[in-house]
Structure 1
């Protein structure tokens, strides 16, 4: 099996600072204490086993917020090293668009050859267990104003929100039609204990999919289904494909986070089993070509 993996994370605890890994704890996405070790490109490729990884997209790993550009600098050095095959082929850099230095940070990120986009985690939830940032950035005028700078540098935006935020996210996408948005982790359907929660996720996917500049990564499902099987993942994969179509969806590993709940090979083969009835062209799009097109690699 050949894949282009559009959502991986690397970290080097010896040379870089990741505050969330300094005193890791247990949360709804798993036991971060099991991630408190270096995870480098060679570890990912070893984890791949029988999966041939052609290209990867690195998404910011919550690096030291005092120096987000250092993560991009480090990743570019890796990509430029002989034997790396150009990996990570694309970098989605970390940014806080509300920070005073955001314009300078964006310019610095954009100066690296493999930078293709940025991500700022926006997840807000009424329950503290699920709340990442405790702040509705999309409602802040300064944040909105800074967001417009992405177009200047031709950067995409990896969108990480919950279903309850999808209407606001769609409004943001409509306001910036020239910016490519990529919804992370199939919309992070966390409210799974009610019909209303399912409807919010399903309807939110369709609201976002109505924006032609929004694509989706089918990834991170194991964070919400620790004992997943092919059949338990199937309805979420198919509902996401129903909303976005094969043309704007891509499978991704979210490794090493999803490594807490299964192997790299098992995850990719599960995706393959779910879409076994698709055409060769459709499977190529989901496993390789859509990621290449979206991240220009």
Structure 2
């Protein structure tokens, strides 16, 4: 069986390896909305509701989660631009499982983000169909624009056009989001962030959420250049923060793409090790955007290649130990609740 090109950016998780380290949950009563995760039944490896339920039930108080586009459970019939509606139906089914109470108190997939190619002439039909299929949970789309010339970073078969966010047909479709009250999740690399600045300035009424801190790359042609990449990434984020319609998701640092290499160790890292490595990136995002425009994400299962769910959230809590209660409340739940329309008081 061939390995999907997407796995070039992250490592497959290994439950036996992750089981080599365990630790107590820090601040187990802190409410958390996991602002970004996936569910899929593919050889990436498999991560279906039972794996998600086990992870969110591992000790932290996960009150709700946000499902994000991963090309899962597309319809196998019908018009091509409507096949992704199947992903919304799938995620909405998981949400119904969560609301049943049979799998714990977490509101699984309380908000849903899927995929529409905004360049398609019938993109609006697809968006309207997703709104109808979402049962009140559909919030927006993600159209990945990550591009690099290095095949070790993204396979040529998976690459998007270098200038996707600048293309006129993409921007015509992007204009539909504000009209329909939808948001846009953006996944692109650190050297592309100025494209997102231009997009955000051109569409100031459309909420944009930057995924995975803007992906400062640490592999391929950027290997061994961490300090230079960090400076370029930070400077680009500093330009992006001036766009008030943009928020940032803090996570994704467990992916192979970021180059920390924890997945290669004999034993999985503890939360203190992750906090030490990730702190400069987390603190930069918070300093630039502020807690009201930043939210934590697990990015599971891609980040599960580096650490367990319990250890990941412990690391974020360690990094934010000096923050005020209001700041922690925003970063771990409040900002995600406001961004994705989740009523945190009802969970």
**TM-based fold match above 0.5:** yes
1:171 corresponds to = 198
Deviation of residue 265 (structure 1)? 0.6
Q: Give distance in 1, aligned partners of 2:335 and 2:240.
A: 17
Q: What CA distance in whole angstroms lies between the structure 2 residues aligned with 1:105 and 1:9?
A: 21
Q: 1:226 aligns with which of 261, 279, 286?
A: 261
Matched, 1:181 2:208: yes
CA–CA distance in structure 1, aligned partners of residues 236 and 152 of structure 2: 22
> Given the alignment of the two structures, is residue 250 of structure 1 paired with residue 303 of structure 2, yes or no?
no
Aligned-pair CA distance for 1:134: 3.5
TM-score after normalising by structure 1: 0.87
After TM superposition, the runs of 4+ consecutive aligned structure 1 residues lying more than 6 A away are none
Match status 1:193 vs 2:224: yes
What is the deviation of 1:201?
Answer: 0.5
Match of 1:124 in 2: 147
| Contact 1:45–1:53 (CA under 8 A) maintained in structure 2 | no
Aligned-pair CA distance for 1:99: 2.6
**Are 1:43 and 2:48 an aligned pair?**
no
Contact 2:88 2:112 (C-alpha < 8 Å) held by counterparts: yes
Partner of residue 308, structure 2: 263
Q: Once the 2 structures are TM-superposed, how far is the Cα of residue 43 of structure 1 from its aligned partner?
A: 2.0
The Cα shift of 1:86 comes to: 4.4
Over 3 Å counting, the alpha-carbon distance change for 1:236 and 1:38 in structure 2 is closer
Deviates more, 1:144-153 or 1:129-138: 129-138
Root-mean-square deviation (Å): 1.8
Take 1:133 and 1:101, find their aligned partners in 2: how far apart are those partners?
23
Rg: which structure is higher? 2
1:209-237 CA deviation, whole Å, 9 max, x = no partner? Answer: 11001000001101122316220111111
| Range 66-75 or range 263-272, more displaced | 66-75
Say how many residue pairs are matched.
276
- Structure 2 residues without counterparts, runs of 5 or longer: 1-27, 263-272, 343-347
Kept in 2: contact 1:55–1:88 (CA 8 A): yes
Q: 2:122 aligns with which of 101, 104, 115?
A: 101
Equivalents in 2 of 1:123, 1:45: separation in Å? 30
**SS of corresponding position for 2:216:** coil
Residue 134 of structure 1: SS of its match in structure 2?
A: coil
| SS in structure 2 at match of 1:55 | strand
* TM-aligned CA distance change 1:38 to 1:267, over 3 Å: closer
TM-score, normalised relative to structure 2: 0.75
What are the equivalent positions in structure 2 for 1:62-211 lying under 5 Å apart?
A: 62-63=71-72, 64=74, 66=80, 67-81=83-97, 82-83=100-101, 86-111=107-132, 112=134, 113-131=136-154, 132-135=158-161, 136-190=163-217, 191=222, 193-194=224-225, 195-211=227-243
Task: Report the Cα distance in structure 1 between the residues aligned to 2:176 and 2:190, rounded to whole angstroms.
Answer: 26
